[in-house]
């Protein structure tokens, strides 16, 4: 009897030790991810994905488009893409978080949504039955979003494996609000030199400039929309270098920068002055 009790105690102790080691490894893995920039997290999450015929076409790694013709277009300059402002000066954007996510994962998404209210007039709110346009936040194939308001149900994909970080949530929401990547800005060549010889074959289109609205805000190496210097590299060599000083650090953002916030407020006419 004593032997059986001792065996049971040993088994319980072993299980507890295994659970502790598993939890410790999970923390280490999470800590490793926290060291990466938003750009690196997105590239890691979206690399080697097998796209199905039902998935949208992706350009620049995480921008969803309906056809190849949209690769060089900016819907915000060609047709307008802003979400409407209400009489109280706020921009209310309905959203729905699908049941793919755990309560912890939903909390990460909600924190990203709510962060916009602390520095802009953007207010994400749960969708209601009479909403015609809304964001459907889902765990689909990778991290991606369309650029700007599309009309009707608009999917923002935040895959449970790799996309659920504060900065990546902000990044995809900025796409949905109408923003492109920093390195595709119309004035990009004044600040970034693209080294196409180091870019993976078939990925060159990710570095094409588009006619963007820059809101009079200077180019921002620290933007959460700026990709890192090795993005889409085929040989571990840089695909982008800052000019005139190639040693300037860039693409390391883990959340929205001051210029990201300023550009957002300018596009949506958020008043930053006290009344």
Sign for the pseudo-dihedral over CA of 182, 158, 195, 244: positive
Rounded CA Rg of the chain: 21
CB of 266 closer than 8 Å to CB of 215: yes
Pairing of β 192-194 and β 143-145:
unpaired
Q: Hey, is 156 helix, strand or coil? A: strand
Reference 184, options 135, 156, 147, 157; nearest CA is 147
Reference 173, options 24, 59, 62, 33; nearest CA is 62
Give the whole-angstrom CA distance, residue 275 versus residue 260: 24
Is 172 catalytic? The answer is yes
- Determine whether the annotation assigns residue 175 to a binding site: yes
| Nearby residues of 248 by Cβ (< 8 Å), 6 or more positions away | 221, 242
| Nearby residues of 117 by Cβ (< 8 Å), 6 or more positions away | 123, 124
- Determine whether the annotation assigns residue 181 to a binding site: yes
CB of 76 closer than 8 Å to CB of 148: yes
Omega prior to 127 cis, within 30 of 0: no
- Determine whether the annotation assigns residue 205 to a binding site: no
Give the whole-angstrom CA distance, residue 140 versus residue 16: 34
Give the whole-angstrom CA distance, residue 168 versus residue 46: 12
Q: Which of 40, 43, 60, 172 is catalytic?
A: 172
Catalytic residue numbers, as ranges: 172
Could you list the residues known to form a binding site for Zn(2+), using ranges.
Answer: 171, 175, 181
Q: Which residues are documented as binding site?
A: 171, 175, 181
């Amino acid at each position: 009897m004593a032997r059986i009790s001792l065996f049971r105690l040993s088994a319980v102790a072993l299980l507890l030790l295994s659970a502790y080691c598993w939890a410790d490894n999970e923390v280490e893995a999470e800590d490793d991810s926290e060291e990466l920039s938003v750009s690196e997290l997105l590239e890691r999450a979206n690399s080697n994905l097998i796209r199905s015929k039902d998935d949208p076409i992706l350009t620049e790694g995480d921008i969803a488009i309906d056809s190849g013709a949209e690769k060089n277009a900016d819907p915000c300059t060609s047709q307008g893409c802003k979400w409407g402002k209400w009489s109280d000066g706020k921009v209310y954007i309905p959203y729905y978080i699908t049941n793919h996510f755990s309560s912890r994962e939903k909390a990460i998404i909600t924190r990203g949504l709510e962060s916009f209210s602390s520095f802009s007039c953007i207010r994400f709110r749960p969708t209601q039955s009479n909403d015609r346009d809304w964001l459907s936040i889902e765990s689909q194939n990778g991290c991606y979003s369309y650029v700007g308001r599309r009309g009707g149900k608009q999917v923002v994909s935040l895959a449970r494996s790799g996309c659920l970080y504060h900065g990546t949530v902000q990044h995809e929401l900025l796409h949905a609000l109408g923003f492109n990547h920093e390195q595709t800005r119309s004035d990009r060549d004044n600040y970034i030199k693209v080294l196409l010889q180091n870019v993976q074959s078939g990925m060159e289109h990710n570095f094409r400039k588009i006619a963007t609205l820059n809101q009079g805000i200077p180019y921002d190496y620290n933007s959460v929309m700026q990709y890192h210097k090795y993005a889409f590299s085929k040989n571990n060599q840089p695909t982008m270098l800052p000019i005139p000083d190639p040693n300037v650090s860039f693409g390391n953002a883990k959340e929205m920068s001051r210029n990201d916030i300023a550009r957002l407020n300018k596009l949506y006419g958020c008043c930053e002055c006290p009344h």
